[in-house]
Structure 1
Amino acid sequence: MYQAAQLVGSNPFKALDHSFKNIDTFLDRGNFRPIGRAIENLERALVFDFGEATGLPPHAVNGAFRIILIALLAIVSCNVVSALLRSAGAVSAKHLPTVVLYPMVLAGVLVAGDHYSPMTSYMFVLTGSVIVILATGLCVARDRDMSARRLAWHEVVVMIGLGAVLATTYDLLYLAPPFSGAYVAARAAASGSTSKLLRLASLRRWLLLSVGFLTAFVPVRIEIFRRCRLSTCYSATDPDLTVDALGRTADRLVTGLPPAGWRYSADLLDRAGARTGHVALARNALLAILLVAVVFIAFTTARHLIRRASAREMAEVDWKRSAAALGALGVVTALMPSLLAGLSKRTQSVRPAIGEAWRETLLVQVGWSLVAAALLTVTFGLVGRSQFARVVVILAAGLLCGSMALTLLANARVTRADRITPLHAITSEMATAAIHFDPTPAGNVRRCGLVDSFTAIRPGTKNWVSGPNVGAELDGLMLDIHNARFCEPTNLRGGAVSPPEDAP
């Protein structure tokens, strides 16, 4: 809620104006994200507007958006796998066992891991960045681009423009051009046409994308380097080439593996002061229904594969080439964001625990899911014509069912641990109070109490003159909508106290 309140009202035009007016200020801090900040601010405005329209508090609206974004991530990731297998010779990849089981693989690796996971914090920017990275690869290397042809003029403009946008949106999107290049190479390798790589339209599209990216990226990084030599920059995006970066990179790489996330999530409730086992979690009606759904999905998927004898359908493709391409792409996809995080001064100083999610974790998890898809491809390729195919299908479905169930319970732990922390409880109440605004004196007293409670946890956030200033920000938000302050300061006797003249 505090982040949502940083906007002056919920006006999207003010959000855009705020983003582009402060470019120089953020350059001094060491990052350049004008488009990304505009999207982030628009997100906050939209979340509040949706809440106003539906009566749902912003944190509930965020939950709905989270489901939509994860669904989009699943669609894009499945298309990456399907397209690569089509390059390996599959006429239609939709019935191949790797493609059929891949959604379960992806669901099993998406462990939230912490409150700062891309799936729980800044989801539009972080989860959205992962979606854009994968979608950029699909855009650069479409089926018709995996052949030699001349590019149309509009393709040149679009690719160069897209590259420039990637360089000015968010740091994680710096990985979109290298991922796209790896994806072009992976599709070429899967098709056995690496000797023709230099003639492919997809390679030309990638080169144009890279030109547009570097045109915006290089001068900005030079300017940031110059400014950061004169003052301290934002540690999260400030790189530091040290030996310690290798260790931190390895930690971030392991963090993307499901067991690391499961283990870390298991300790969250204990640290939050509540002990809740898997059985207690499963007593929740919705969680119980979801666990039953996981088992049902695994059963019906295995039945579908056995009925179609789909393991034998791997004969349609060169499974050795496709497995190698999937595995190599997965390793590159997991390693790049891990290295980006490992080079961060923030990571090197804070040393987050293995399993503790951060902004790069979601993309690392997608990388590991591609490696798992490669292992499935090898397995079904080896047993596709044997009598053990059915047994392998059942074992694979059972293993993925268990992985999905453990991930579901781990994410439930993260959610519950988040809900019982005092700060989350207070901000949720503030969000609800902002949507369901009670104009009575009693309502004002409750809202002022929430601001006081927030300030007790986050000292320095209430001051009417200097920031961070949650009281003034919430007041500005409510004045735009209800023409009343979120909290009208009162004395102990309930009388109104006039705020300073420079208060908003």
Structure 2
Amino acid sequence: MVYDAAEATGLAPHAVNGVLRLVLIGMLAVGSFGLMSAVLRSAGIGRSGRHPAVVLYPMVLAATLVAGDHYSPITSYNVVLIGSVILMLAAALWVARDKDMVQRRLAWHEPVAMLGLGAVLAATYDLTYVAPPFVAAFVVARAAAGSSARQLLRMASVRRWTYLTAGFLAVFIPARIEIARRCSGSSCYVASDVELTTDVFGRTADRLLTGASPAGWRYTAGLLDRAGISFGFADLARNVLLIVLLAAVAFITVIAARNARGSLPVVSEDSVGWRRPAASLGALGAVTALLPALLVGLSRRTQEVRPQVGEAWRETIMVQVGWSLMATAALVCVFGIARKPGTARIAAALATAILGATMALTLLANARLTQVDRVTPLHAITSEMATAAIHFDPTESGNARRCRLIDDYTAILPNPRQWVSGPNVWSELDELMLSVQGIPYCDPVLHGGNKPANPEIEDAS
């Protein structure tokens, strides 16, 4: 799809991925906001956005979305990684809708739909393995925010979740048995292998901390230092778009401060408590962050590689959503305690200013990662290789240029096991170009009869 879109528009594939990334982040934001507002709505607060925590949540989420590394969901494999989290958010919101948080009989089609949804979640990706407990946590959080435990057991959402879990297990159990059977006699993807050791606790804690914004800021600054370049707030002024984004952060901060102050009268009313919704939202955030962190902490790859705190990977964006919910729960506490009008206005102004500053720091961190990418040869060559596949030059000189890109790529990663695109990237590119252009990506005959220097690549091609 990305290649076809790039071919139709003339944009490079990485540019198409950039547009797709923005769309997915927007969908993630909508789902995360729905999750947060549903919990507060169950408690009877935050209706129509009339609560400072609801008003400020978009800023909270934006501040947490630090890319953190080249293999973050924000930078790599967006559809699979961000899409998996979006699917789980959508599943939770569908299982526990407002009309499902009461006692009622299920319609005939609801069990069928939930069974199908569970099967889809089990068949999607490793990350969606945490979907059943995550959805359960959302159901419990909504009930705990405004109902009792006795009422929870009678709710339609609990029965809907039961069917979802049954559909999930119906696919998950035989699939994992078959995977174990096939992998017993051969080497499989180490990142999906589970390793039960005492190291799980330390790695899980590291992955949990990685989702916190300060860890991402610190790690990105370290990448900048190792690349030998400097990039600060003053450097943002060199790029028109970054100036616009920084100005947008300031504008959003001013508007959010005004809207937060405008929602303060509702907070001062003691018609509903704030402790239960704050505790429910905080607990949901903790579970949302802990589940994917534990999943990756169990990975043999994580225990062997030991990624640094702040080094983002496949689970990080879901952990960041969890941190955003916990931060919002803290805001509910702040505005629940600061009930006097004067104190509440000061709290709203301070909270908004802090969030505006953290958004700016996240913008800086993500811009820094972009700068590191630009001076990293591997990323530059990968982008050139993809662009050459779209703006395909069929001449002998064009073939020579593409073959040189393959040679440069091989020189950086001589061991095919290190290749981020797989050991047969050359043959894959050839197959793609033969299907759309009728000639290979790199014809070694036209390239002087030379193939990439690595003999394993030669055999694969």
TM-score (norm 1): 0.85
Q: Which one of 336, 344, 353 corresponds to residue 381 of structure 1?
A: 336
C-alpha distance in 1 between matches for 2:202 and 2:46: 43
2:315 matched to which residue of 1?
360
Give distance in 2, aligned partners of 1:75 and 1:263: 28
Matches for 1:145-184 after TM superposition, within 5 Å: 145-184=100-139
Counterparts of 1:241 and 1:438, CA distance in 2: 51
Which blocks of at least 5 consecutive residues in structure 2 are unaligned?
453-457
Q: Is 1:66 aligned to residue 21 of structure 2? A: yes
> 2:192 is matched with which residue: 233, 237, 240?
237
Q: 1:150/1:486 Cα in 2 relative to 1: closer, same or farther (>3 Å)?
A: same
Q: Specify the alignment match of 1:34 in structure 2.
A: none
Q: CA deviation at 1:460?
A: 5.5
Give the one of 320, 331, 344 matched to 2:299: 344
Which SS does the other structure have where 1:288 is aligned? helix
Does 2:234 match 1:283? no
Deviates more, 1:390-399 or 1:418-427: 418-427
Q: Is the Cα–Cα contact under 8 Å of residues 56 and 260 in structure 2 kept in the other structure?
A: no
Q: By how many angstroms is 1:241 displaced?
A: 1.2
How far has the Cα of 1:91 moved from its partner? 7.3
Looking at structure 2, the residues matched to 361 and 282 of structure 1 have their Cα atoms a distance apart, in angstroms, of: 29
- 1:55 is aligned, of 3, 6, 10, to 10
Match of 1:218? 173
Q: Deviations over 1:153-205 (max 9, x none)?
A: 11110101111111111011011111110110000001123221111000000
Displacement of 1:495:
5.9
Contact 2:66–2:213 (8 Å) recurs in 1: yes
Q: Write the letter of the residue equivalent to 2:103.
A: A
Query: How far off its partner does 1:416 sit?
Result: 1.6
Q: Is the 8 A contact 1:66 1:123 kept in 2?
A: yes
Q: 2:69 aligns with which of 93, 101, 114?
A: 114
**Once the 2 structures are TM-superposed, how far is the Cα of residue 488 of structure 1 from its aligned partner?**
2.2
Offset at residue 230 of structure 1 (A): 4.0
Which letter maps to 2:18? Answer: G
Provide closer, same or farther for how the CA distance between residues 417 and 226 of structure 1 changes in structure 2, counting only shifts above 3 A: same
C-alpha displacement of 1:375: 0.4
User: Equivalent of 1:428, from 378, 383, 386?
Assistant: 383
Show the counterpart of 2:95: 140
1:366 and 1:314 map into 2 onto residues whose CA distance is 29
What is the rounded CA distance, in whole Å, between the counterparts of 2:190 and 2:309 in structure 1?
20
- Amino acid corresponding to residue 77 of structure 2 in structure 1: Y
Q: Tell me the alpha carbon deviations over residues 384-409 of structure 1, each in whole angstroms, 9 at most, x when there is no partner.
A: 34421111111000000011000111
Q: Which amino acid aligns with 2:162?
A: L
Identify the residue that residue 200 of structure 1 maps to in structure 2.
Answer: 155
Q: What displacement does 1:227 show? A: 4.3
- Give the letter for the 1:179 counterpart: F
* CA positional deviation for 1:442: 2.0
CA deviation after TM superposition for structure 1 residue 270, in Å: 2.1
1:334-366 deviations in Å (ceiling 9; x for gaps):
111111111111111110000000111111111
2:433–2:440 Cα contact (<8 Å) kept: yes
- Cα distance in 1 for residues equivalent to 2:20 and 2:272: 37
Distance 1:146 1:235, change over 3 A: same
Q: Determine if contact 1:80/1:134 at 8 Å carries over to the other structure.
A: yes
* Cα distance in 1, alignment partners of residues 336 and 191 from structure 2: 43
Partner residue in 2 for 1:128: 83
Q: Partners of 1:404 and 1:91 in 2: how far apart?
A: 23
The alpha-carbon distance between structure 1 residues 489 and 278, as it changes in their structure 2 partners (threshold 3 A), is same
**Distance in 2 between residues matched to 1:322 and 1:306, nearest whole Å:** 21
User: Which amino acid in 1 is paired with 2:329?
Assistant: A
Paired position in structure 2 for 1:402 = 357
Match of 1:185 among 108, 121, 140: 140
Q: 1:221 to 1:308 in 2, by over 3 A?
A: closer
Q: 1:127 deviation in Å?
A: 0.5
- What pairs up with 1:3-18 in 2 under 5 angstroms? none
Cα offset, 1:305, TM superposition: 2.2
Residue in structure 2 matching 1:312, options 248, 261, 267 = 267
Residue in structure 2 matching 1:251, options 192, 206, 214: 206
Separation of aligned partners in 1, 2:345 and 2:266:
8
How far apart in 1 are the matches of 2:343 and 2:82?
39
Moved more, 444-453 or 220-229: 220-229
Q: Specify which of 405, 414, 424 is matched with residue 459 of structure 1.
A: 414
C-alpha separation between the residues in 1 aligned to 2:46 and 2:357?
A: 32
Match of 2:39 among 63, 84, 97: 84
After superposition, residues 86-105 of structure 1 pair within 5 angstroms as 86-90=41-45, 92-105=47-60
Query: How far does residue 497 in structure 1 lie from its aligned partner after superposition?
Result: 8.0
- 2:225 aligns with 270
Return the alpha-carbon distance in structure 2 between the equivalents of residues 245 and 72 of structure 1: 32
Match of 1:372 in 2: 327
**CA distance in structure 1 between the partners assigned to 2:147 and 2:412 by the alignment:** 59
Corresponding residue SS for 2:33: helix
Sequence identity of aligned pairs in percent? 60
C-alpha distance in structure 2 between counterparts of 1:479 and 1:228, whole Å:
33
- SS of 1:399's equivalent? helix
Residues 175, 337 of structure 1: 8 Å contact kept: yes
Q: Is the 8 A contact 2:51 2:264 kept in 1?
A: no
Count of residues in Structure 1 that have an aligned counterpart in Structure 2: 452
Name the aligned partner's letter for residue 371 of structure 1: M
AA partner of residue 93 (structure 2): L
Counterpart-to-counterpart distance in 2, 1:461 and 1:248: 27
Q: In the TM superposition, what whole-angstrom CA distance separates every residue of 1:452-503 from its partner, at most 9, and x where no partner exists?
A: 11121122669xxxx8233222122112112222222256xx767899x999
Query: Partner letter of residue 337 of structure 2?
Result: L
Shift of 1:450: 1.1
* Cα distance in 2 for residues equivalent to 1:179 and 1:287: 36
8 Å CA contact 2:282, 2:325 repeated in 1: yes
| One-letter amino acid of the structure 2 residue matched with residue 79 of structure 1 | G
Q: Are 1:113 and 1:357, in contact at CA under 8 Å, matched by a contact in 2?
A: yes
